[in-house]
Structure 1
Amino acid sequence: MKHNLVRGAYLLSLATLFTAMLNALQKLTGSSLSVLEIVFFRNLFSLPFVVLIASRKGIVLKTHHFSGHVLRSVVGLISMVMTVVAVTHLPLAEQQVLSYTQPLFLILLSIPFMNEQPSLQRWIAVAIGFVGVVVVGAGKGLLHGGAVHVPAWAYGVALAQGGVGALTTMQIRQLSTTEKSTTIAMWQAILMTVATAAALPFVWQKPTLLEVFALVAIGAFAGIAQVLQTEAFASAQVSAIGPFTYSGLIWAGLIGWLGFREVPGIAMFAGGFLIIGSGLWMLRHEQITPKKQA
């Protein structure tokens, strides 16, 4: 693989922009449409992009672990529902910051699922990261920049989404030992679309014309973000461009400020610094450890 850091960083930053725009549209539609309806359209209109990615290496649906794909899709669907709920009730920047707890949960989940023994550095990073979570959540009153009331349970949903998102990543790791990445992506897209389509008659709320355009854009943006992220990680090493994932906070902050008048407070910046800092520390530790072992 050719290592093109500039191209990889650019594409990954662009992917986070589309993800931020996707979350903004989910926030807009989440106040009037059902969550499952939004998730259905997200999966339906992102499916062509998943097929595009898969077709480059050959679409393979044959699998000996169908039950694993079903479980992966169920957990992934729960994660998507939590994301819609979180962005609907939280400022975009705060939801984005709390989503960065996923690497912290990965460390915790690696103990029962992968039989790993995290190092002291990893435990310190987890502790620092969750202190950041407490700062973000506790600061919604005095230290919050906006005057909009934010329900406490919304922070719990956003934090839980980080844990569920980490679980989906862990499931992908386990499936990828025998399955191609394109096979995993295809089954996820198909199963999620079918599952939400089955629930649609029970949760359907007629969207306005403007909401229809927003729903189409949600799926398209999700698909575009996935294509860009795939191309980014194909262009450069994950460890090299990983920190550019945090550019999503810039986009979320700008969109929240310009589109929803959400002014980030001191607590969000302080907590975000701790959460992102812990993630970068872990990334640096992962880069140093292999060199010592070499």
Structure 2
Amino acid sequence: MFAQSLWSLAAAAFFSMMAACVKYCNDVFGPLELVFYRSLFTTLFVFITVSLRGETLKTQYPILHLRRDVLGFVSVAIWFFTLGMLPLGTNITLTYSTPLFLALNFILLALWKKEQPEWPLIGSILLGFVGIVVVMRPSFLSGDAVSALLCLFVAFIDLFGYWQIRFLGRVHEPSWRVVFYYSLFCTVGALLGILFFEDGFHMPNTRAAIAAFLMCLLATGGMLASTRAWIGGNMLLVSCLGFSAIPFSELIGVFFFKNIPDMLSLIGMTIVAAAGMIATVYTKKAEKAASSSEQKTR
């Protein structure tokens, strides 16, 4: 089980390198153009794989897919836009703060039900807020406050995407079908966005073409590794190991983009990661308790 969960480390590494490729070639391609290439590659890959396996892409839950796809498309489009504006480590730290919003969601639900929320969840929110303020400090000082806030907005949107994926899981919709429709929606959405909001497609130089191709390969590798981790690994361990994307991205930023963080920024990133892990642990505990309570009332 532990070895299976280590696939989440591979997924974190793949997605961090994918983000670096996006950042590396965003001076040639528009953000929606990069979303288009990535999504088209994944759509074709899943379609060919599913066809060879004799599976069907027909779904009985188009509305559930549509909700997840809209949220996912908005999230990835904004994320690719911000990757060109902030240091990679800062960007990944802020966009990986979704567990803090998830913990806040459970706190609000407990208060709505007139129950006492768990103190560790409250503590993780406060700790995470401190870490986020510390991480965002250089962005506010350099005039990148809007980009930093957009990263937090991405994390907030991903909270709702998380619930939509959970709903699809409850109706036993296979992961590859979820990925296919999401990628297909992003392909069409990005294409329309390029035609109406960007200045069309661009002829890449060799450097940008190689980076874009690597982005597609890494995105697919990250998707496969992440799927394998969630299917066969311990969900709690997988969630916590996912935060390894923060140090991965910071190291990539240092070596490839010369983004040398100061000590305060490193402390802030560590605080956010720690708060996210605490929030993940106690959120899973709250989910389990809520599930047990529902079963007892049936």
TM-score band (shorter)?
0.7 to 0.9
Distance in 2, matches of 1:150 and 1:49, equals 40
- Shifted more, 263-272 versus 206-215: the winner is 206-215
Distance in 2, matches of 1:15 and 1:198, equals 29
1:277 equivalenced with 2:265 (yes/no) = no
Q: How big is the alpha-carbon RMSD for the aligned residues of Structure 1 and Structure 2?
A: 2.8
Distance in 2, matches of 1:29 and 1:271, equals 28
3-state SS of 2:181 partner: helix
2:296 corresponds to:
none
Per-residue deviation, residues 63-94 of structure 1 (Å, max 9, x unmatched)? 33323322221111111112112221111111
Q: How many residues align?
A: 281
Of 101, 119, 123, which aligns to 1:105? 101
Distance in 1, matches of 2:223 and 2:87, equals 23
Structure 2: segments with no counterpart, 5+ residues: 293-298
1:64 equivalenced with 2:60 (yes/no) = yes
Q: CA deviation at 1:255?
A: 1.0
- Amino acid in the other structure paired with 1:61: L
- Amino acid in the other structure paired with 1:195: G
1:125 corresponds to:
124
Per-residue deviation, residues 68-125 of structure 1 (Å, max 9, x unmatched)? 322221111111112112221111111111122111112334557xx87653321221
1:241 corresponds to:
238
TM-score normalized with structure 1 length = 0.84
3-state SS of 1:94 partner: helix
Distance in 1, matches of 2:263 and 2:167, equals 39
Distance in 1, matches of 2:281 and 2:195, equals 48
How much identity, in percent, do the aligned residues show? 23
Of 226, 231, 253, which aligns to 2:228? 231
Q: CA deviation at 1:237?
A: 0.9
Distance in 2, matches of 1:122 and 1:40, equals 38
3-state SS of 1:32 partner: coil
- Amino acid in the other structure paired with 2:173: K
Distance in 1, matches of 2:147 and 2:8, equals 28
1:188 corresponds to:
182
3-state SS of 2:60 partner: coil
Structure 1: segments with no counterpart, 5+ residues: 143-148
Q: CA deviation at 1:53?
A: 7.1
Per-residue deviation, residues 27-62 of structure 1 (Å, max 9, x unmatched)? 122233211111000101122444477679864433
Distance in 1, matches of 2:255 and 2:180, equals 36
- Amino acid in the other structure paired with 2:257: F
2:153 corresponds to:
160
- Amino acid in the other structure paired with 1:280: M
